[in-house]
Structure 1
Amino acid sequence: MRLLHTADLHLGRQFHGISLEDDHAAILDQILQAINTHRPDVFIIAGDIFDRASPPATSVRQFNAFLGRVARETEAAVVMIAGNHDSGDRIGAMSVLTDVRRALIRGPLLADETPLILRDAAGPVAISALPYGYEFAARDCFGDESIAMPEHVIRAQVTAARRHLPEGARWVVVAHAFVEGGSSSEGERPLARVGGIETVRHDMFDGAHYVALGHLHLPHSVGMPHIRYAGAPLAFGFDEAGSVKSMSLVDLDEQGRVAIIALPFAPTRGVRVLRGKFADLLHGEPSTDFIKAVLTNDAPLIDPMKRLRELYPNACQLTYARDERALDIMSEIKVQATLHDPAKVIREFLTQVRSEDPVDAELALIGSALSDLRSVEAQV
């Protein structure tokens, strides 16, 4: 049995205010080409089809046209679930009037989680599709008031799915979750309330031969080789600059063992961070990539972004290296001085920021300023 595993399309998303509609169109074309080339038995989208519960009409039309082509031009079965960015009801509505022999679409949670059963020469393969659901919805669905975190939701879903597995069937689970040990990026929305535990242990999926995950945007396996994130097809933040995005082509043999090949995407616009002197960056090759410029100039410049955009029209962000370094230091520094010695605190701060100790004249100025403050405090 061959699977093509994708996830986290986030149709309708923008990159720093710039539309990604054309970028997504290219990605959907590449997915369709991969289906036609590699002929998977099952095409999987593991949640976050859209970027928000009420996506733009253009994104809905774009996805509907894509699904129509998959149905008309390929023989692949389709399995997809709602993610935490999606409206479960919207995704669930897509299952109306679909061919249940060829499609499994899950939006809202279901207590009676029946799989899609497909067969190959080795026998049946059961595919369970477990959409993302919030704790309150899961408590209502499963009649269990003890459900209080994402792991409890997954446990209830997996338990419900196991009840419908045919004897001896190989089992594929599609889920949208943050599995413990996964690699996150800036683009993911937390799955738990503030202070809650959003991670799920990988042993929640014991018994599954392949777990097709969505939510985390970098392609990687977690816990076990067969528990895998396909990742998002596009980078949605500069922390993902240089990362290779891919879909996972999975061959499931008669014993339930998997062989996984990453099929790289070719985005129309990359995401890059350029670092250097402003004059040097202006001598680079023109590019439509999304650009973050980190200037190493000592002094601030007047409207450098305007000039950069003449060469890089999609330049989105500009910072100075000295400012980024100061922020890094402030987040990592372990202050050795106590607050009872403010002069020492100031000296350590200056040393960390500038990589050199303050000179005598600066120390005298610091001492004088602190002395003036003490005098003011004494008069209050």
Structure 2
Amino acid sequence: MKLLHTSDLHLGRQFNGISLEEDHAAVLDQIVEAVKANGVDALIIAGDVFDRASPPQSSVRQFNGFLQRVKTETNAAVALIAGNHDSGDRIDLSAIAADRSRWLIRGAISSEETPLLLSDQHGLVAISALPFAYEYAARECFENEAIDTPEDVLVAQVAAASAKIPEGARWIIVAHAFVTGGSVSESERSLTRVGGIETVRTSAFDRAHYVALGHLHRPQSVGADHIRYSGSPLAFGFDEADSEKSMSLIEMDAAGEVTIETLPITPVRRARVLRGRHAELLHSDPSGDFIKAELTDDAPVIDGMKRLREVFPNACELVYVRNERPLEVKSADGQAITAAEPADVVWNFLSEVGLEGITEVEQDLVASSLARLRQKEDAE
């Protein structure tokens, strides 16, 4: 059985105010082509289809067109769930025209966790699609006031799903959660509304042969190879500039053991961090990538971002490396001191902003100003 696992599309999202519609279109094309090229039996989308509960209509049309392509151009089954960014009711609407024998689309939580049953030459494969839900919704659904954490929610969902798995079937769980040990990015939203513990232990999935997770944006396995995040297909922040985006191609054998291959995703525009002097960056090769410029210049550059955008039209951030270095005050022998004299702090600040050659008159002005402040404090 071959599965293609992806998640966290976040259709409708912007990158620092720049539309990602073109970028998402390229990603959806690559997913369809990967399904066709690899003879995939089931496509799994583990939540956060949209970036918000009320996405723009252009994103809804984009996703509906994608589902139509999967339906008409491939023979793949589909397992799709709502994530914490999605409206469960909107995701459920996508199931209206679905082939119920081949597609399992789950938006709202339910105590009836009926799996999608597929078969290959080795027998049955059952896919349980467990949509994200907050604790209050799970308490009502399962009539259990003891549900108090995201882990409690998933444990209840998994128990309900387990009861419907045919004996001897290999079991796949699709879920949207923060599993303990996962590596996070800056662009993920907390799964708890009023603080609390949002992580879920891997033991919640003990019986499953593969767990297709969504929520964390970096591709990774957690706790065991078969408990995996595919990661988001696009970078949504500069902290992900070092992250290679991919889809997870899963092949499951007769015993339920899985082998995992990552299929790289080629984005239209990457998130990149460039460091150097402003003049050096202006001589770089032009690019439409999203750029964060970390300037090593000693003094601010006039119209720095405006001039940078002549080479990088999607430059989003400009920072000076010198501003990110913590100020350190040292004594005359070079040793750090714990309590700095006010005058030393002033000299250090002036040096940091590039004003090292101050005159004696300026030194006297600083000294006299500090003396007046001391006198005022003593008088009070």
User: Please, what TM-score do these two structures have when normalized by structure 2?
Assistant: 0.90
Partner of 2:332: none
Partner of 1:282: 282
Instruction: Quote how far apart the aligned CAs of 1:379 are.
Output: 3.0
* In structure 1, distance between residues paired with 2:373 and 2:152: 55
* In structure 2, distance between residues paired with 1:170 and 1:377: 76
Instruction: Quote how far apart the aligned CAs of 1:42 are.
Output: 0.4
Q: After TM superposition, list the pairs within 5 Å mapping 1:356-367 onto structure 2.
A: none
Structure 2 CA distance for partners of 1:284 and 1:255, relative to 1, 3 Å: same
Structure 1's unaligned 5+ residue stretches are 330-334
Aligned residue identity for 1:113: E
Instruction: Quote how far apart the aligned CAs of 1:193 are.
Output: 2.9
Instruction: Quote how far apart the aligned CAs of 1:225 are.
Output: 0.4
- Does the 8 Å contact 2:296/2:321 carry over to 1? yes
Q: After TM superposition, list the pairs within 5 Å mapping 1:11-30 onto structure 2.
A: 11-30=11-30
Structure 2 CA distance for partners of 1:313 and 1:207, relative to 1, 3 Å: same
Aligned residue identity for 1:70: V
* In structure 1, distance between residues paired with 2:344 and 2:88: 53
- Does the 8 Å contact 1:81/1:106 carry over to 2? yes
Instruction: Quote how far apart the aligned CAs of 1:375 are.
Output: 3.3
Instruction: Supply the RMSD in Å over aligned alpha carbons.
Output: 2.6
Q: After superposition, what is the alpha-carbon deviation per residue over 1:140-197, rounded to whole angstroms, capped at 9, x for unaligned? A: 1111111111111111111111111100111000000000000110111111134311
Q: Secondary structure at the match of 2:310?
A: helix
Which range is displaced more, 186-195 or 242-251? 186-195
Q: Is residue 130 of structure 2 the alignment partner of residue 130 of structure 1?
A: yes
* In structure 2, distance between residues paired with 1:372 and 1:258: 75
Q: Secondary structure at the match of 1:311?
A: coil
Partner of 1:152: 152
Q: After TM superposition, list the pairs within 5 Å mapping 1:4-43 onto structure 2.
A: 4-43=4-43
Q: After TM superposition, list the pairs within 5 Å mapping 1:285-300 onto structure 2.
A: 285-300=285-300
- Does the 8 Å contact 2:343/2:366 carry over to 1? no
Instruction: Quote how far apart the aligned CAs of 1:377 are.
Output: 3.2
* In structure 1, distance between residues paired with 2:185 and 2:83: 17
Instruction: Quote how far apart the aligned CAs of 1:343 are.
Output: 4.0
* In structure 1, distance between residues paired with 2:111 and 2:302: 61
Partner of 1:237: 237
Q: Is residue 170 of structure 2 the alignment partner of residue 173 of structure 1?
A: no
Partner of 1:313: 313
Structure 2 CA distance for partners of 1:299 and 1:115, relative to 1, 3 Å: same
Q: Secondary structure at the match of 1:174?
A: strand
Q: Secondary structure at the match of 2:262?
A: strand
- Does the 8 Å contact 2:115/2:128 carry over to 1? yes
Q: Is residue 326 of structure 2 the alignment partner of residue 326 of structure 1?
A: yes
* In structure 1, distance between residues paired with 2:133 and 2:284: 47
Instruction: Quote how far apart the aligned CAs of 1:325 are.
Output: 2.4
Instruction: Quote how far apart the aligned CAs of 1:121 are.
Output: 1.2
> Matched residues, percent identical?
61
Q: Is residue 110 of structure 2 the alignment partner of residue 141 of structure 1?
A: no
- The number of equivalent residue pairs is 366
* In structure 2, distance between residues paired with 1:371 and 1:46: 65
Aligned residue identity for 1:55: P
Partner of 1:187: 187
Structure 2 CA distance for partners of 1:256 and 1:367, relative to 1, 3 Å: farther
Which range is displaced more, 95-104 or 296-305? 95-104
Q: Secondary structure at the match of 1:151?
A: helix
* In structure 1, distance between residues paired with 2:251 and 2:121: 14
Aligned residue identity for 1:184: V
* In structure 2, distance between residues paired with 1:366 and 1:139: 65
Instruction: Quote how far apart the aligned CAs of 1:59 are.
Output: 0.4
Partner of 2:257: 257
User: Please, what TM-score do these two structures have when normalized by structure 1?
Assistant: 0.90
Q: After TM superposition, list the pairs within 5 Å mapping 1:69-218 onto structure 2.
A: 69-218=69-218
Q: Secondary structure at the match of 1:159?
A: helix
Q: Secondary structure at the match of 1:326?
A: coil
* In structure 2, distance between residues paired with 1:344 and 1:306: 37
Structure 2's unaligned 5+ residue stretches are 329-335
Structure 2 CA distance for partners of 1:147 and 1:364, relative to 1, 3 Å: farther
- Does the 8 Å contact 1:343/1:367 carry over to 2? no
Structure 2 CA distance for partners of 1:217 and 1:346, relative to 1, 3 Å: farther
Q: After superposition, what is the alpha-carbon deviation per residue over 1:320-344, rounded to whole angstroms, capped at 9, x for unaligned? A: 01112239x9xxxxx984xxx5749
* In structure 2, distance between residues paired with 1:39 and 1:141: 37
- Does the 8 Å contact 1:343/1:366 carry over to 2? no
Q: After superposition, what is the alpha-carbon deviation per residue over 1:212-246, rounded to whole angstroms, capped at 9, x for unaligned? A: 00000011101100000000000000111132100
